[in-house]
Structure formats: structure tokens, C-alpha cells
Amino acid sequence: MKTNCIFCKIISGDIPAYKVYEDSYVLAFLDIAPVNPGHVLVVPKIHSSNLDDIDELMLGYLMKVVRLIGRSMKKSLGANGYNVIINNGAVAGQLIDHCHVHLIPRHPKDGLTPWPQAKYKDDEPRKLAAKIKANVIVC
């Protein structure tokens, strides 16, 4: 538990939240600034700054709960699907220094559009793939 982390304070009960799921390992609650109504955050109860430092077993369990909540959104909110988003690092849009997963219920014509896409130039894909592949460390 990190004392200055807003999610740790929500987990400890120091800050109220609209909880949708809780067990010994994770907490899921409504985002206070939702992209769409029903936008949920799923957080591990053990503080991890981001995806890079979360325990692998916890990550697997976290994703199991993400799927559980996503299925519930579809059934209870009539959502046709949902986005699963992890903003990893400030440059990627992570605002709270505690690993968390956004679940955003989606409906036809809800006004949300996917991010812009580009095209690679010439030999760029091969070079990029080689750079990434060279630094993959298998556990």
C-alpha cells in the first residue's frame, strides 16, 4: 500500500468509490470521469506502479476479473462489447501511478472512435520487428 496513491486510498476505504466487484486481490469500481456510463477501473490491491512491475500471477488474475466484469457489462448494461485499456506510463496517458485496467462499455453509435492508424514505409516493419524481437526477454 502506498500512502499517497489515490487507488490505495480507495482500496483501504479512506476514499469512497462505487464498487462493482471486490475480493482479496482486486477491486473494481466506477471511474469518476467515465468515457461512457459504466466505465470501470479494475485494480490490484497490492500496489504496482504499472504493467511493467506487476507480479505475473497477479496480472493473470487481474485479467480474469477484467473478463468477468466485461461479461457483466454486456449483460447488465446491454453493451455490445467493451474496450480493455491499460495506459502504461505517463506518456501513454496513465494518470494514476497504480496499475489499473479500464473497461469501457461500448454501444453502437456511442460516438467513440478508435485511434488514428498509419502505414509503414518501405523496410520499416522489418527493422522495427527486429529491434523489438532482440529485446524480448522470456521468463
Inter-residue contact 71 to 35 (CB < 8 Å): no
> Residues 39, 47, 98, 100: which is the catalytic one?
100
Which residue stretches of the chain are H helix? 6-12, 56-77, 124-134
Closest CA to 84 of 139, 33, 35: 35
Q: Is residue 47 annotated as a catalytic residue, yes or no? A: no
**Which residues form the catalytic set?**
100
